[in-house]
Chains A and B, each alone.
Chain A
């Protein structure tokens, strides 16, 4: 009698968990790709852990707090490693709708990944899309900050150069007029003091310094 019951149960289980069964999901693991030399072997203990993680995820769903590890059924484990799983209700006759399982897995994806040292790409739940992390956007884009800094530096440098150029030109503008005056003054042999033509100075009231007067002879006539 017991054997009959056992066969019945396994038959039902086999029906519930099949590839492409209703509410069944395929899982694919790429342990060696993820961990390389530190890859662990996939055995029944790992399967037990997987069942525990799925049960844990289901227990977080309201109305499903009574989910036990024995309610999660695994089948068709291949060498890949890949398998199918379903979650049954406490009566073990029906499977929980795919939508609930999907939302439960999505909520706890991170925990499941971490339990196996894998990530979304190496522990794949086919037909359950993972939520991708949005890129963190700083309030002000970084490039504008750098742009602003360099822009200000360049503007300041331009201002400095332009202002110094204007100042230089102003100095030069008073210079050439002195040049012309000096040319005439040299011809007229009038003394120069500090580049200021002496003509505006009133020679009558001014004091003519003899030491400078003798310099006229050094000027060669044009």
Chain B
């Protein structure tokens, strides 16, 4: 045993006073096992004879795991709000996908972590030395995620700081230069869109026009990284405590918003839209694909953080119960948040619909000099018919300007990308009373969710770094965290340029999606076929004392891999059918989004993103194979 490493049986403990081993020593003790495993006997997994995690820490990490899952779930809610749920009939596919895909895969990851008792890299190395690339790929994906995700926090900070003004800056358009009217771009778009595209992002017309770094979002990004650094400074112990706060506080705000949202005028329209399943949308496979992807990301599968958290659990811990509870909490949070979202959505749609109607009424009243207040929403149709019949020529002049207002079309409008969280909600908030309060609450909640997710991500990156003895010998923990934050912040400055939002969309759409699917597929196949499902089952039974139900076996071995493969095939066919990849660019002259093709170098970046994490798996396998061959070659002549 390494000198200095403590164990309860050590007689020195009772007489000579020492400091209790802290978690860093414990983790390095586990690291030793993974070093020992490299020597060929990967099949034999020694029982850790070091100090077992004490009960209190196990409980803390259990709860930490739950709040991590909730935090990731709320991140998934956020991502889900970013376009995956622009149809009202997502409930049915969501629940089915949860039962078929979410729970089994979550249970699998927790079981692997609890069984192998190591972080993601070590755990997969324990299953098979050729597969440690899976853990490396998870770390790479987490690295990409942390690079771009903090920009959302920067935007949330920006909106939060701007919420302390009366009136809210996104509720009124700025005036043009000679003070006779409003800014042209703002007139064509809406004031919330103008604030988002022009004053927050200062977006350029296409991805090629880079522009310079905008100092305001850059400042907010620096602040966001400082806050993240503050939380992870002390390592996993302090992160656990912060995660409690950042995961529970949004619940309070959500409840307040629920009460406010349900009492809004028009909220019931949104709720009815959410709960009525539309048969034709259910038949569309895209709804199922979206639900499956949504479950994936909201549960945080494939990031390695679940394995890392579960490795701190007691071996006899009932992880099946945990998996079910965590996924249920996660999905009920999502549904709860979506109720709030849809009630606010309904309010916004109703408000826009009524504004549209009053514009039509005003137009007709002015053109025909009708008495003010004569036209109301109830008699609008009759009066229109009467006018059409009595003054046909004048009516046909006015007709092109009359918009057809429809509540359905307002509810159906989908906003893509992160814009949803910022544009739709701010548009709804500006119409509420005491809008400053609601705005502050909402962006504070968004910040909590975002920072909670960032903590999980950075913990996933930092754990292997601080565990590796090479680095931790030279640099203290604070310096490693600081360096990681600094590098990510510097790279994140790319997203604060004028074209930054387009690069952000690239990262958002491609950095994590395909790679995570691949990682989880390899995980499932590895556990079921490489390690052996029967062997894993007997391990679990020996560890927890409970037999594995047939349902999990069927799911792990058959249904889930098939599902993931079909998701893959769908994405590939989608890409092949549409030919090239396209993106939405903001056209300032028209005041709306237009579709453009990605230039070649952007496509290259996309390919690099996907490949760099996916290629880890075969590359590391190849490397292990080669190094083993070399070692065998070295030892053969000696023997």
Contact = CB atoms under 8 A, between A and B. Distances in A.
Contacts of B175: 132, 134-135
B47 interface: no
B167 to A, nearest CB: 9
B229 A158 contact: yes
Contacts of B230: 154, 157-158, 161
B16 A30 contact: no
A129 B179 CA distance: 10
Contacts of B372: 29-33, 80-81
A150 interface: yes
A90 interface: no
A180 B2 CA distance: 13
Given A79-B371, A135-B174, A143 B161 contact: yes
Nearest to B11: A220
Contacts of B219: 147
A165 B226 CA distance: 17
B380 to A, nearest CB: 16
Contact of B476 (A129, A161, A165): A165
Nearest to A155: B226
Contacts of B11: 220, 222
A132 B179 contact: yes
Contact of A80 (B162, B172, B229, B370): B370
B4 A147 contact: no
A78 B369 contact: yes
Contacts, number: 99
B439 to A, nearest CB: 13
A135 B183 CA distance: 13
A220 B372 CA distance: 102
A82 interface: yes
> What class of interface size applies to chain B in its complex with A?
35 or more
B15 A219 contact: yes
Contacts of A129: 180-181
B165 interface: yes
A151 B223 contact: yes
A154 B227 contact: yes
Interface string B48-62: 000000000000000
A133 B234 CA distance: 52
A146 B158 CA distance: 10
Interface stretch (A63-71, A169-177, A200-208): A169-177
Contact of A186 (B16, B165, B371): B16
A80 B16 CA distance: 97
Contacts of A219: 15
Contact of A165 (B15, B233, B366, B371): B233
A183 to B, nearest CB: 7
Interface string A80-101: 1110000000000000000000
Given A82-B369, A186-B12, A142 B165 contact: yes
A82 B368 CA distance: 11
B180 A132 contact: yes
Interface string B198-229: 00000000000000000000011001001101
15 contacts: A28-B366, A82-B369, A129-B181, A132-B181, A147-B223, A150-B223, A157-B230, A158-B229, A158-B230, A162-B233, A165-B477, A172-B19, A182-B16, A183-B12, A183-B16
Given A143-B164, A186-B12, 17 more contacts: A30-B372, A78-B369, A80-B365, A80-B369, A80-B372, A82-B369, A134-B179, A135-B172, A143-B158, A150-B223, A151-B223, A154-B227, A158-B226, A158-B233, A161-B233, A161-B234, A183-B16
Return the 5 tightest CB-CB contacts between A and B, nearest first. Answer: A32-B373, A143-B161, A78-B369, A79-B371, A80-B369
